Every structure is written in structure tokens, then in C-alpha cells.
Amino acid sequence: MARFSSPHLLAGALGLSSLLCPGAALALQQPDGTVVPVGNNLVTYLNAEGESINPVTDAAITPQTFTPQCSLTFTVLARGGSQKNSFGWYNVTGAKPTPQELYEFIGCNDGVGTVKTLDVRSDSRYLGGEIGFFQATTQGKSGNCANWGDISGTIGYFYYSEDRYNDDNVPGNPSNWIHLLIMNTTRADLDPAFYFGWEDLFSGGDNDFEDLLMRVQGIRCSGGGQPCDTGAIGKCAFGTTQCVNGAVQCLQNEQPTTETCNAIDDDCNGETDEGDLCDSGLVCDRGVCRPSCNGGEFKCPTGFTCENDLCIDTACVGKTCDAGKICVRGECKAPCDGVVCPHGKTCRQGACVDPCEGVTCESDYYCDPGVGVCVLGCGCTGCGAGQACSQVTSACVQSACETVTCDAGTHCVDGNCVDDCDGAQCPAGQKCEAGGCVPDENASGGAGGASSGGSGTIGIGGTSFGGSSASGGTGMGAAAGTSSGNGGALIGRGETTESDSGCGCRTSDSKSSRSAWWAAFALILFPIRRRWFRAERRSTRV
């Protein structure tokens, strides 16, 4: 299966061409003003499939052109008219295709229940660009079967997904006759999937759009599968664009959950790790329960002060930083300034974390370590020059690394395994070991004591929490975990997540552009205004 634009709707094997899906269809009309579809036949067929689709308000006439990436699965659900139409694809060239440039896929004798898989990329007739779909009808001919072996004798008209090429289109008219309606599935067990409903009569005819009804799996709208800001806060801010009823929307990846000590705003209320989340004697510090320095055996080392149960750099006591910055040795800095994380890690709010930790991707997808989002694997998208598709990770790798397997903590470069720590600059008070940033007990002072927007301190640590005889700061300690949406995915499930037929797939995304986007967006997942101190003491903050 595949989804239509994202983790939960039609994803994968096809992506809309360069144009985005326009606004959602409310009441589609023919040039003569007829609202389509007419009658209840289409609804009856959809209801029989367990769908709760209202075609008048839910149908769209986009996308019109597509970029094939993986296999598409078509299931014939209805042939409601007297004509036995055929269906196929063509290469988009910018000109109306000739009959010889139309390639039949569903024949006129392929009845209800027929299931076929289309893999355009492996077809020698495919020119490598976008494709469109067409319906061939018999109106005006003596027979009722659009026989591809006798085009001139059995086929009366052609209708296209690019409606400007329809045989009943009148050049110069402000609108074209509609012959194809596209509808998203409402069934969770089919998601992602959508329906093609064709009208086969010239100039609309009865406009019932059930003359050839097919379910399609493996296609999605352009603009889907991209990370987006839902407008919410905390982890609820992370969304994935999806094509819904012909319009690209930003749909939330995760719903609010109970707050835990994990450096994530789980309940999406703008506060991170608030409340008493740790056992007695411990305080939540950047997603980790640490010993409280307020009483007991644990004491802060020289150069650090106990404030709000945490040891912070004395130079940061009372220091107020602007939103988005933290205090490091008395100076306000962006949390990731000067940080170069080990291979496969990303700096978020001053911590090098694995953005794919906890992310599960569907078949044919993999988690992009640069952004922590499930994206379509190279088995569907292919790879560029000098790259090969890894059968293990489904990601494109250097050709020299295709068959190279490296040990944990290393990765392949130019055919050789190199340390993940090469070139890494961990956050203050940490060092790189085994491919990750860990506390450096020999460090001479870690970051600590930041406030954002004047709201309070952030105790990052700055000591070895293993005992009271620590000398020198160890910085932050453990890195915070990350959270990502359904299969993202998707998104998509991708996301997320998340689709099949050899590749139940989504369109590929531009990883380079998304990486830059996520770098700026990361602060949303880790809101700066955090309660690293106990709520009841907030009023005492200077």
C-alpha cells in the first residue's frame, strides 16, 4: 500500500508534479454549471467499500500529473456505464498525447475485482519525467468495448487527468469539462489509498462519475510528506504535510501525552518536564533524573552553586538570557553554538541526540538521521551519480560503501570505516566516545544556569553526579531523547511513516532542504521556556 501525501493519506509511488494541490474542492461544477457528481450511484459504490465519502464536498480534480517512483496498485471497483472503457498512462510532454503515445493498462474486458500493478519506472516506454492517466470510451462507435487493438474502430473519445486535453474541451473556455474525480479513503485499514471516479460521456452526460471506479494505492500529492509547523507547541508542533481533499494541509504527528522527564514538552502546554517527575531526592534536569544538591550527601563542586536543586555555574547565577539562549560560563549563547555532533547525531537545545531514537518507519521507508523523519527509501526513489542503494538501511550511500559493514561507533567514508567522533565538538563538559557525547570528568566547568525570557534557571549539571568528591564540571550528563511522528513519518508513517507493491511508497523529499528547515525548527520541540526548577519555587527567582 501507499499513502496520498503523507503519514496517513495517499503516500508514495507517485508524487504530484511541480504544482501543488490547490484548495479543497467544495462543489465542483461543469462549464454548464452542473454540480458534480450527480445522483447517488457513486456514493452507493463507495458505501459498499465501507467509505464515508461525500463526493460533492470531498472530491478533487487534482493532482493531474505525477512522478512515478514505485509500483501502483489499481483495483477495479465498478463499471457503472454501458460502455466498457479502458484506462492507461502517458508521458507528460507539454503537448496533448497522440493515441500512439497512450499506453493501456486496464483493458475493456478487465471486470470488477480486477487488481493490477503498474511499475512505470521499469517500462521502456517511460521517458523519465511525469506521467498522466487517461480513459478511453466507445461513445459514437458501434461496439461497447474500447479495444486497443482497433483504436479507430472502437474508441470514440479520450479523457485525461490533464483536463485541458479532454476531447470535449473548447480552447478559450475558462473551464474544462471534468471527467476525473479524486477522493481520499476514509478507512483506517486502507489508509493510504484513494479513488479515481471517471465520467465517460461527452460534455459530462449524466455526470455520475461511476462509469469506471478504481481504488489506487501508491500515489500522493506534491507538497506532502514535508515537515511543517502545526502552530501548536511542544511535540505537538511537529507535523507533516498531507494532501487532503486536493489541498495540502499540515497534520499533527503526535497528540499530547502525560509529562515525563525526557526533555520534551509531552503535554504540549509550553512547559518542559514540569512537575515532580522523579523519585524522592532527584530532580529532572534536561530529561534526566539527577541527585538534588539541596540537602543530603551530594554537594556542588567549587565554582558551582546549588540553585533550585541543581548545581549551576556560579557565573550564571541570576543571569537572564533572551529566549533561545542559555548561559555558558556567564555568557548567553545559543545552545548549539560551537557544537559539532558525532556522525548520526543532531544538536538540539545544547544536546547531541539521535533524532531517530524511538522512530519506527514502515516498509520501504527509513529514518533520515539528519531530521529524524521517515522518508521514502532509495529502493523507490533511486540514487544519484556516485551513490548506491543500501539494502540494509534503504538510504543512498557512497558507491564505495555499498557492501561495507562498519562496527558500532563507526561509519563508512570512501569505502573505509571511520570513527563517528572524527571532527566532533561536543557540548561544554562533554567528550565524544563510542559515537556519542558523554560526560567528561576532566572538564573544567560545564554549562549551566540559564534563563530564557526571564522565566527561570536551567540547571544543566556541571559536576560528576557519581559522588560528592567530584572535581570539575561534567556538563550535561545524558542527552535527551527525541520524539517523532507516525512513522515519522509521516510521515509519513511516512510518516511516518509511511505503503507497498514492491514499494508501498511516498515521494522522495529533499533531505538537504529539510535538514536546514529542521535546524531552525528544532527549538519548537524543545521550548526554551522550561521549568528546570520546581514550580513552587518559581516565584523566588531573581
Q: Produce one character per residue of 5-22: b if its CB has 16 or more CB atoms within 10 Å, e if not.
A: bbbbbbbbbbbbbeebbe
pLDDT value at residue 292: 83
What's the CA gap between 197 and 184, in Å, rounded?
Answer: 11
CB 134 within 8 A of CB 88: yes
Quote the cell numbers at residue 139: 461513445
Q: What does the radius of gyration of the chain's CA atoms come to, in whole angstroms?
A: 29
Alpha-carbon distance of 319 to 458, in angstroms, equals: 10
User: Can you give the pLDDT at residue 486?
Assistant: 30
* Pair 378, 69: CB distance under 8 Å: no
E strand or H helix that includes residue 478: none
Question: What is the pLDDT at residue 297?
Answer: 67
Q: Where are the domains of the chain?
A: 22-220, 259-381+425-542
Bridge partners, 75 (sequence order): 115, 215
DSSP 137-203: E-TTSSSSB--GGGHHHH--EEEESSGGG-TT--TT-SS----EEEEE---TTT-S-EEEEE--SGG
pTM: 0.54
Whole-number Å distance between alpha carbons of 341 and 345: 6
Per-residue pLDDT of the chain (542 residues; tens, 9 = 90+): 233 333 233 334 454 333 333 334 468 999 999 999 999 999 999 999 999 999 999 999 987 887 776 778 899 999 998 999 999 999 999 999 999 999 999 999 999 999 999 988 889 999 988 899 999 999 999 889 999 989 999 999 999 999 999 999 988 888 899 999 999 889 888 866 889 999 999 999 999 999 999 998 866 554 556 678 888 887 787 777 765 655 567 877 677 889 888 667 788 887 777 888 888 888 887 666 878 887 766 777 778 888 878 777 888 888 888 766 778 778 888 878 889 999 988 887 667 878 777 667 766 678 888 766 677 788 777 788 899 988 888 889 999 998 898 999 999 999 999 999 999 999 876 899 999 888 776 654 443 433 333 223 333 333 333 332 222 333 333 333 333 333 222 222 222 223 332 222 233 333 333 333 333 333 333 333 333 333 333 322 22
pLDDT at 174: 81
| Whole-number Å distance between alpha carbons of 223 and 18 | 9
Contact criterion met (CB below 8 Å) for 319 and 450: yes
**C-beta neighbour count of 93 within 10 angstroms:** 12
What is the pLDDT at residue 121?
81
Integer Cα distance of 373 and 494 in angstroms = 8
